[in-house]
Structure 1
Amino acid sequence: MPHPHNKKIQSFWLITGIIFIAFNLRPAITSVGPVISSIRAELHMSNGAAGFLTALPLLSFAVLSPLAPKLGQRLGNERTLWLGLVILLIGVLTRSTGYTAALFFGTALIGVGIAIGNVLLPSLIKHKYPEKPGIMISLYTTSMNIFAALASGVSVPLATQMNGGWKQAFLLWGGLALLALLIWIPQLRHRDTANQTMKLQSSSIWASKMAWYVTIFMGLQSFLFYSSIAWFPEILRSHGIDTATAGWMALMQFASLPSTFLTPVLADRVKQQRGIVAALASVYLIGLCGLLAGGSHTLLAIWMIIIGIGQGSSISLALTLIGLRSENAQQAAALSGMSQSFGYLLAAVGPIFVGYLFDQTHSWTMPIVLLIAALIVMGAAGQGAGRDRYIFQSEKQRNSA
């Protein structure tokens, strides 16, 4: 039996490792948007190619998310997460060489590496901390969002000040991945056996209504988040904001941090999360309706903050629901793979469709109306996902009848 002091040390390194993996799940993506014009000019890329570059990680997420649980089942979650960090590091190094082919190939590898972390961290947390998943999801999602906002905010200053421009700025995030790799090494001695010893019910998870509620909620919050990251700067410019746009986008992302942290803690303390869903959807709706109405620069700043609160709550609640609606780590991995596969497919389509609507109407009214409609459907799915029920509970009840 491990000595209590050794258990504390092991717990410290595990929690630190989870936090540092979370640090790496967004910067390699959010650092691209602010410097995409520089990349396009230097490599003589078309707008279509530039758009595909920003969607490529999301497509990797969609393809790899259902496969990550199977890889975790074969290798163990700890080793698979380490492998994901290795792939992420290779992707960052490849992308930073500056060649067009390497840029796309490295970006695809980055998507693969991050997809593994996206899917398996909720499963690992479910297994290691079954009694307190809320606080761990809070730490994980808040850490992820902090570096997502940081990478978005510092990309242009770093690219401007460094001799290598955007290539050297991208390379810095390889250092963060390397640090996470080193911190995670103690976990390689362990092998999470939950995936081998616990099996899903006989029916596919894709047949579970509860799994679909969680999946639609996850998918539409991803649709809203990535659509806003792609197009809110242009929407703000249409309201007369120019040089302050980047700062206002960072304002939205940093405003999400308190709600990102608090939502899972609150969700873990109540049996049903339907009230939380209604509250966050209402706040989110106020922000989007305000953005639709426009107003002064002060009002627009308020709308961005309110939207940030809604976004922070929705992503952390979506990840929390994966654990709360699962009975074990294997179910959590399968539900995470399903919800994130569908979710990131929607996330990849979202910015493209929003841009298409603008091209057709030459106005941001219909694109924002589309986001409002997606939010309403997300809220409805959240009402189903927020019920106190496991993904296979209804099947169990039928089988025992």
Structure 2
Amino acid sequence: MENVRTSSTHAAWLLVSIALVALNLRPSMAAVGPLLSAIRGEVPLNFSTASLLTMLPVMSMGLAMFLGMRIALRIGEHRTIVLSLLIIGLATASRLYLDSAAGLIASAIVAGLGIALIQAVMPALIKSRFADNVSLLMGLYVTSIMGGAAIAASFSPFVLAQTGSWRLGLAIWALLALIALGSWYGQRSSITSLPEEASRHHETFSSNARAWLLAIFFGLGTASYTCVLAWLAPYYVEKGWSEQHAGLLLGLLTAMEVLSGLVVPAIANSSRDKRLVLGVLLALIIGCFCGLILSPEHFSLLWPCLLGLGIGGLFPMSLIVSLDHLDNPRRAGGLTAFVQGVGYLIAGLSPLIAGMIRDQLGSFEWAWWSLTAIMALMMVMVLRFDPKGYGRHIR
């Protein structure tokens, strides 16, 4: 992938388009949690089955991630993202007509496939077009992803309240895909295809130990994100909150993720060594999970806010550390596609496991305790990310 220098106008328009595309990567999952009570009122779902609405799209994202770069090499980055937005939009719009658990799950899986194709291509595109400010631009991209989750989590319950239809609350986000499609299609002249020599070779990282370490680190961190996305709102509904207030709480958490996703990469951009920043974020997440368990009612706004700051910073930093391992944009894009592919397969299990814990033990607290232990393990893994050894681990 060649390092393309675009004019300031084209660069600004590209930034807007990247943000609009990224807004579409979470609403299909984030809208489910706040509406789960209403959905379960019409569709027979226990907590374990309901977890599939978050788990399966994440798992399909992981599986499709391995195909994303290959598809981009064949049809180009621009067409790949156009195709992905069409898939997401159609899968989301179809929910207006669904009345079964199987149909909802199928729409979630199809949306996950579209999401994966975008997430496979976008980091490499950012590294090639904005090589001097990768951390800042990855921060914008990931922040927009979480912004889409915040909007969907906050607004979907109001759609339900105004219309009485949870289907419309899920399907309305197809409009976001339509807007992004129009903006991105306008970029077709500035988004060039991958150079011919790049298309002849697709590097794999499955035999590299550092690539697996990065993938496991990303997967465990994203497990906390997907689990909170799926179950934080139902957790507070069980504490006596209304769906609207629980949805707003999830929206507040994701709004803090947006803030952290912008600020943390900007802070970390000045140093190649990201270990201190990662350690602080993990310590913050551990403290917040403990607070969520031990004192959910007394500091009901504080814990989600701080948790959002921790998760919101950890998500982009996990990808940035992967991108930092390689200077070549195409190879770095291939590495991040592998990291996300394996990582999302790991992360996709967390909503299901948490739902099973809730069904068996009658509470989400043990799920939060499990995530706390995982974050502690990740603090040990962070010690391995000394930038002096990047070249040795991935040649």
- Please indicate, yes or no, whether the TM-score normalized by the shorter chain is above 0.5: yes
Which residue does the alignment assign to 2:368?
368
**Does structure 2 retain, via aligned residues, the 8 Å contact 1:215–1:340?**
yes
Quote the Cα distance in structure 1 between the aligned partners of 2:382 and 2:48: 34
**Does structure 1 retain, via aligned residues, the 8 Å contact 2:63–2:341?**
yes
**Does structure 2 retain, via aligned residues, the 8 Å contact 1:261–1:316?**
no
Which residue does the alignment assign to 1:160?
161
Which residue does the alignment assign to 1:281?
282
Quote the Cα distance in structure 1 between the aligned partners of 2:332 and 2:241: 44
Quote the Cα distance in structure 2 between the aligned partners of 1:46 and 1:129: 46
SS at 1:207 equivalent: coil
Show CA shifts across 1:25-74 (max 9, x none). Answer: 11122112222333333344565543323322112112101111111121
Which residue does the alignment assign to 1:242?
241
Amino acid corresponding to residue 269 of structure 2 in structure 1: D
**Does structure 2 retain, via aligned residues, the 8 Å contact 1:200–1:331?**
no
**Does structure 1 retain, via aligned residues, the 8 Å contact 2:74–2:199?**
no
**Does structure 1 retain, via aligned residues, the 8 Å contact 2:33–2:233?**
no
SS at 2:40 equivalent: helix
Which residue does the alignment assign to 2:131?
130
Which residue does the alignment assign to 2:28?
28
Q: What's the TM-score, normalizing by structure 1?
A: 0.87
Residue 379 of structure 1: CA displacement?
2.3
Quote the Cα distance in structure 2 between the aligned partners of 1:245 and 1:251: 10
Which residue does the alignment assign to 1:229?
229
Change (3 A) 1:241 1:12: same
Amino acid corresponding to residue 274 of structure 1 in structure 2: R
Which residue does the alignment assign to 2:173?
173
Residue 386 of structure 1: CA displacement?
5.3
**Further displaced range: 175-184 or 243-252:** 243-252
Change (3 A) 1:82 1:195: farther
SS at 1:187 equivalent: coil
Which residue does the alignment assign to 1:335?
335
Quote the Cα distance in structure 2 between the aligned partners of 1:349 and 1:170: 23
Residue 358 of structure 1: CA displacement?
4.1
Quote the Cα distance in structure 1 between the aligned partners of 2:48 and 2:23: 30
CA radius of gyration, larger in: 1
Pairwise mapping of residues 51-130 of structure 1 onto structure 2 (< 5 A)?
51-100=51-100, 102-130=103-131
**Does structure 1 retain, via aligned residues, the 8 Å contact 2:93–2:173?**
no
Which residue does the alignment assign to 2:3?
none
**Does structure 1 retain, via aligned residues, the 8 Å contact 2:124–2:333?**
yes
Flag the structure with more relative contact order, 1 or 2, with Cα contacts below 8 A and sequence separation at least 6.
Answer: 2
Residue 313 of structure 1: CA displacement?
0.8
Quote the Cα distance in structure 2 between the aligned partners of 1:160 and 1:237: 16
Quote the Cα distance in structure 2 between the aligned partners of 1:389 and 1:201: 24
Which residue does the alignment assign to 1:220?
220
Quote the Cα distance in structure 2 between the aligned partners of 1:42 and 1:295: 29
SS at 2:74 equivalent: helix
Which residue does the alignment assign to 2:37?
37
Q: What's the TM-score, normalizing by structure 2?
A: 0.88
Change (3 A) 1:301 1:218: same
Quote the Cα distance in structure 1 between the aligned partners of 2:281 and 2:196: 33
**Does structure 1 retain, via aligned residues, the 8 Å contact 2:265–2:317?**
yes
CA RMSD of aligned residues (A): 2.6
**Does structure 2 retain, via aligned residues, the 8 Å contact 1:85–1:113?**
yes
Quote the Cα distance in structure 2 between the aligned partners of 1:38 and 1:357: 22
Change (3 A) 1:44 1:370: closer
Unaligned stretches of 5+ residues in structure 1: 1-5, 397-401
Amino acid corresponding to residue 348 of structure 2 in structure 1: A
Residue 200 of structure 1: CA displacement?
7.3
Pairwise mapping of residues 193-212 of structure 1 onto structure 2 (< 5 A)?
193=194, 196-197=197-198, 204-212=204-212
Amino acid corresponding to residue 311 of structure 1 in structure 2: I
Determine what percentage of the aligned residue pairs are the same residue: 25
Aligned length: 386
Change (3 A) 1:306 1:48: closer
Show CA shifts across 1:240-260 (max 9, x none). Answer: 452343333222222222221
**Does structure 2 retain, via aligned residues, the 8 Å contact 1:65–1:341?**
yes
Change (3 A) 1:367 1:174: closer
Residue 362 of structure 1: CA displacement?
4.4
SS at 2:192 equivalent: coil
Amino acid corresponding to residue 284 of structure 2 in structure 1: V
Residue 235 of structure 1: CA displacement?
4.3
Residue 355 of structure 1: CA displacement?
3.0
**Does structure 2 retain, via aligned residues, the 8 Å contact 1:214–1:381?**
no
Amino acid corresponding to residue 372 of structure 1 in structure 2: T
Change (3 A) 1:208 1:199: farther
**Further displaced range: 245-254 or 220-229:** 245-254
Which residue does the alignment assign to 1:259?
260
Change (3 A) 1:295 1:135: closer
Quote the Cα distance in structure 2 between the aligned partners of 1:317 and 1:128: 19
SS at 2:273 equivalent: coil
Which residue does the alignment assign to 1:379?
379
Amino acid corresponding to residue 241 of structure 2 in structure 1: D
Quote the Cα distance in structure 2 between the aligned partners of 1:109 and 1:373: 32
Change (3 A) 1:13 1:236: same
Which residue does the alignment assign to 1:145?
146
Amino acid corresponding to residue 181 of structure 2 in structure 1: L
**Does structure 1 retain, via aligned residues, the 8 Å contact 2:224–2:350?**
yes
**Does structure 1 retain, via aligned residues, the 8 Å contact 2:34–2:234?**
no
Tell whether 2:348 aligns with 1:348.
Answer: yes
Change (3 A) 1:379 1:195: farther
Residue 372 of structure 1: CA displacement?
1.0
Quote the Cα distance in structure 1 between the aligned partners of 2:363 and 2:198: 55
Residue 334 of structure 1: CA displacement?
1.9
